[in-house]
Structure 1
Amino acid sequence: MIANNGGGWFEAAIFASYCCQIKALRLKPWESPPVHGRKEDPQSWRLLQRMLKAGISQFEPDPPAALRVKR
């Protein structure tokens, strides 16, 4: 696993969040989840900004559900 290959717990946590967000958001292979939110990907960047403004971590496994709870 990642943690056993020298990546450490933080890289394992990022990867876990990445996988969960892809599933929760039903992203296409070329789309980025908010855990990797970059300005080069406007949709991911906007979602990340909404999450952070609502006090939700960029590592949240299910961003849509977390945003619904915050409303």
Structure 2
Amino acid sequence: MADQPIPQETTKDPERVQTSNGTIWSLRAATRGGAGLYAPVEVRECPRLVMATLAELAEHGVKAVAA
């Protein structure tokens, strides 16, 4: 799954975030409840099963970054 824009009405989560270890994560999908699902930008295809939510990434320290 390549980086594809997520409709803004689907989730309010930022498009990209960076964890404290320097990894940049991009928004790839959203759950039915509207939580964004993220994968590292270096990973071209990532199954939803292994994507992380913003809450999960926040456990590692996270900040929004410019797209």
- TM-score normalised to the size of structure 1? 0.28
Which one has a larger percent helix, Structure 1 or Structure 2? 1
* Greater relative contact order (CA < 8 Å, ≥ 6 in sequence): 2
Which one has a larger percent strand, Structure 1 or Structure 2? 2
